[in-house]
Structure 1
């Protein structure tokens, strides 16, 4: 039986060899998680896609104290929510948030995202080559965007960034719980401040506070969940997208020469940046069969969207970065009722970032060999800790 996480000996832009071997054997595998618990790892594209939309799986567990865990993160490593009311709670939450993250609202943000990106690139260019693209752009831009959207003071970024990283720690439960508690307490204070200001249309958190019937705890929880999810994965996607484009011969130059390639390039970045070896935590709400495997009620099922996005059954050359080649739509934002509500915003941010980068710095290149890049293994997204570039 395989044990997670897999060894990434093939490099940062290749599937772990053990994962590739498992995919050759089939789409569903018994594994032991990083904390020693049993789970089912689903790696096949069609199977992951189908199960993402299967309401027989959920985030809650009938006996949470006995549930298997994928890691020590208090928010993402184990069960979440009330088993009896989970589906109704999720529908209500989606209905509450959908209006605030509609594609139309997100498109209206594009000029501001362009303005913020330009300002950060101005600063980076003025400082001169070499630069760390992580600290100059990949990190501050998503934080600035989500702060303006939600109504979170940008000046608080160092604090909530530290709490977010602590909450996402997959190795230290106590640190994760403290980070989550600090983030939630900050959210409650922010909701109370928004109520006192009395402008329900000022920003998303103000609208959540006004619409949520006076439930400060729920408004704080939703607001802080959006704050975390709204910047962490985009930071990682910008970094990994840069690695893919600069490490694949001709791709940076092709995008610079033909800006019309940006949408396809963004989708390929989204497909490529998660290589698999983990998965979205789900628990079986009833007994079910998955490709001949009997999954019992309460079993932990890890839906590995990264593995699915690199499944040879769905992609002819899954490890090749090729905006012209992908046919199956990637699953990086999920599928079905839990499809990521922030997908339109993430796509716009990536489009603006790479559209401006290649136009402004057509000769930009990595400042360090790919194999020397460093990543944070403690956090959920496992993103780059720095991204040196030259131009």
Structure 2
């Protein structure tokens, strides 16, 4: 099997929510940087091999902004990962300021302080699911609606200072922004989300609290180079990413574990000792979206025998890189005991996910608690019968389980 000469059309069809398209293996071997056509119909480069994805993630010659935004390739019709973001002239300085402001709030120490709160939440959600299970006619309950969704929402609301009562509103806006099928409606949802966040900020301004949004409002008031609209976009991005990605990781992690009885039994036998390794393997193998991280070349770049020209769109497939057989033994196998401990699930370099400690802590609490309290947990429906979300971040719409 060889890669065709013409541009591939993204997304590549995948056989299930847990597997990637087999073509990725061919691309990594034969064309690790290959020209593709995006879902929006524009040209881009797709990067699939671990070495190139890692190196380009850390390459300052790539950015999220574009030297001529109106000429940039569009990737999707959603309002997330659709095209360039930020100011080309100030992107690096803006990013440095953002990291400086947010690093203390998302530090590993801060996340450990939140872990007791997370544990209380998880135990409460499981109490309700257990009660629901006892009265359900078929004994099947939805772990997505009962745990995977509400936990990350509650935690990010506490951290950012967002009223939890608003969760249905911002969840609906998040779903619409990331929807790949509704076109202009996705961008209207982003505008609504921006207006919601601006209203929340102005309501908080007279009495700022000890939360991330209050910290950003203080910083923006004190720094004339910190644009108000930039602050709004940053707050929306934190609220979106802070719950959406973890919701999907909980769902995918549950599917990986429950479709591998030996791995689930091993975790249940020693939850506290085994959970860290399970979480890292979930982050490696879990692939909630079908595209990758979007960057634009700020200058010509030579890599893997191709020339990426200034302004070209580059899609870095972390999903494909994390299954690279030249890096991982039995790369497609879910194996928390694998000797290779590194992965790109949180990115790499200057843009390494600032919420990595938050996500890791939530996942550890969730899977250790499930293993302790519900060792008989099993799926209530085959994986191939689960409905996959039509959003940029993918995942499943429901996760029926029983025990």
Q: Distance in 1 between matches of 2:88 and 2:370?
A: 46
* Residue matched to 1:87: 92
Question: How many aligned residue pairs are there?
Answer: 387
Q: CA deviation at 1:219?
A: 3.2
1:1-391 correspondence runs (5 A): 1-9=7-15, 11-128=16-133, 129-196=139-206, 198-201=207-210, 203-213=211-221, 216-259=228-271, 260-274=273-287, 277-377=290-390, 379-391=391-403
Structure 2 vs 1, CA of residues 276 and 50 (structure 1 numbering), >3 Å: closer, same or farther? farther
Deviates more, 1:230-239 or 1:321-330: 321-330
Q: Is the 8 A contact 2:288 2:394 kept in 1?
A: no
Deviates more, 1:46-55 or 1:212-221: 212-221
Q: State TM-score, norm by structure 1.
A: 0.96
Q: Is the 8 A contact 1:276 1:307 kept in 2?
A: no
Q: CA deviation at 1:310?
A: 0.6
Q: Is the 8 A contact 1:52 1:336 kept in 2?
A: yes
Deviates more, 1:213-222 or 1:359-368: 213-222
Structure 2 vs 1, CA of residues 276 and 213 (structure 1 numbering), >3 Å: closer, same or farther? closer
Structure 2 vs 1, CA of residues 328 and 24 (structure 1 numbering), >3 Å: closer, same or farther? farther
Q: Distance in 1 between matches of 2:400 and 2:323?
A: 27
Q: Distance in 2 between matches of 1:29 and 1:148?
A: 42
Deviates more, 1:219-228 or 1:244-253: 219-228
Structure 2 vs 1, CA of residues 343 and 290 (structure 1 numbering), >3 Å: closer, same or farther? same
Q: Distance in 1 between matches of 2:307 and 2:341?
A: 28
Q: Is the 8 A contact 2:288 2:393 kept in 1?
A: no
Q: Distance in 2 between matches of 1:266 and 1:148?
A: 23
Q: CA deviation at 1:180?
A: 0.9
Q: CA deviation at 1:326?
A: 4.7
Q: Distance in 1 between matches of 2:189 and 2:74?
A: 19
Q: Which runs of 5+ in 1 are unaligned?
A: none
Q: Is the 8 A contact 2:18 2:287 kept in 1?
A: no
SS in 2 for 1:156: helix
What whole-Å deviation, never above 9, does each CA across 1:9-66 have from its counterpart, x for those lacking one? 3x22222122222223132111111111111100000110111010000011111111
Moved over 4 A (4+): none
Q: Distance in 2 between matches of 1:71 and 1:176?
A: 11
Q: CA deviation at 1:328?
A: 4.7
What whole-Å deviation, never above 9, does each CA across 1:342-380 have from its counterpart, x for those lacking one? 000000000000010111110110011111111112x11
Q: Is the 8 A contact 2:290 2:394 kept in 1?
A: no
Structure 2 vs 1, CA of residues 359 and 136 (structure 1 numbering), >3 Å: closer, same or farther? same
What whole-Å deviation, never above 9, does each CA across 1:141-180 have from its counterpart, x for those lacking one? 1001111111111111111101111111233331121111
SS in 1 for 2:239: helix
Q: State TM-score, norm by structure 2.
A: 0.93
Deviates more, 1:87-96 or 1:48-57: 87-96
* Residue matched to 2:4: none
Q: Distance in 1 between matches of 2:120 and 2:31?
A: 47
Structure 2 vs 1, CA of residues 275 and 111 (structure 1 numbering), >3 Å: closer, same or farther? closer
Q: Distance in 1 between matches of 2:150 and 2:351?
A: 27
Q: Is the 8 A contact 2:48 2:317 kept in 1?
A: yes
RMSD of the alignment, in Å? 1.4
Q: Distance in 2 between matches of 1:252 and 1:17?
A: 26
